[in-house]
Structure 1
């Protein structure tokens, strides 16, 4: 089976793993550290801000069953792309929203989706003849400011085994995302 990978961040990586795990078209979800400044990487170093890295997930998926746009729709339904380095009670650059790709063919879909997110809720531009132009970005004041990194993946380091499937191992842990409600919503 042909699969692809996309690396996503936006808050607690344990919660993101629980959101994506088991969805149609998802082959595997791994928690880890995106673009760490150095090696080795530990959870404590990243969580304390001592090592520059983003906590995120690697989503391995079947592109015949789920596409990049759907993966991003899911991300932005649980993570706030309009807040800088903040997801609920979590704050800091390690929790920021991001989309990291290792295949340049994914970039146009990512850019299109982020452009849509930035322009959601803005009226379409109208030219001098009264024609509606499908380019709401012409007035930069109407754009919503997105705080989403869209970058090439430099390195992904899987988190330790204790951080893989963490919410399955610890079902009583309080989460910012209501995973149960999310599951009901997507069915």
Structure 2
């Protein structure tokens, strides 16, 4: 079976793992860290590492689940307009245009189109920067992903008593595709 991988960072990655594990078309969800350099240890990152971001790796079947739908789920639970470590990281160059287009849509959502005196509506999302919201979600090509140890995977399933920011039960029952 042909599968693709996408990487999401931001929020609590343990919660993200639980959320994406139940999405139709998702084969596997792995918690780990994204690094700007080749770091091979999950616990002890390279001292000169520029970034060391907690993230989830999502392996999905593109015939059953679209990348934009996965990003819709991500931006449903995490606010892209808040200044956090929210990001979408891709490993395949074919995903770059779709990710960029989706984030451009998110950044310009709710903005009115430009209308000229001749009553022509121009679909220009960048005509007035003051009227668009700042989208802090980052996009980038993945350089390195190190999976967390097995005892970190699906941590919330083994410890349901731990409080979460997202009501996972309610979210899973409301998730429909």
Contact 1:36 1:54 in 2 (8 A): no
TM-score, with length taken from structure 2: 0.91
**Deviations along 1:72-92, whole A, 9 cap, x unmatched?**
00000111111112xxxxxxx
How far, CA to CA, are the matches of 2:149 and 2:22 in structure 1?
21
Structure 1 gaps, min length 5: 86-95
> Superposition pairs for residues 100-139 of structure 1, below 5 Å?
100-139=89-128
How far, CA to CA, are the matches of 1:129 and 1:136 in structure 2?
19
TM-score, with length taken from structure 1: 0.87
Structure 2 gaps, min length 5: none
> Superposition pairs for residues 57-72 of structure 1, below 5 Å?
57-72=56-71
RMSD (Å), alpha carbons: 1.8
Q: 1:74 to 1:125 in 2, by over 3 A?
A: same
Give the structure 1 partner of residue 43 of structure 2: 42
Contact 2:31 2:147 in 1 (8 A): yes
How far, CA to CA, are the matches of 1:7 and 1:136 in structure 2?
26
How far, CA to CA, are the matches of 2:116 and 2:96 in structure 1?
30
Alignment coverage as a number of residue pairs: 173
How far, CA to CA, are the matches of 2:125 and 2:143 in structure 1?
33
Give the structure 2 partner of residue 77 of structure 1: 76
> Which structure features the higher share of helix residues?
1
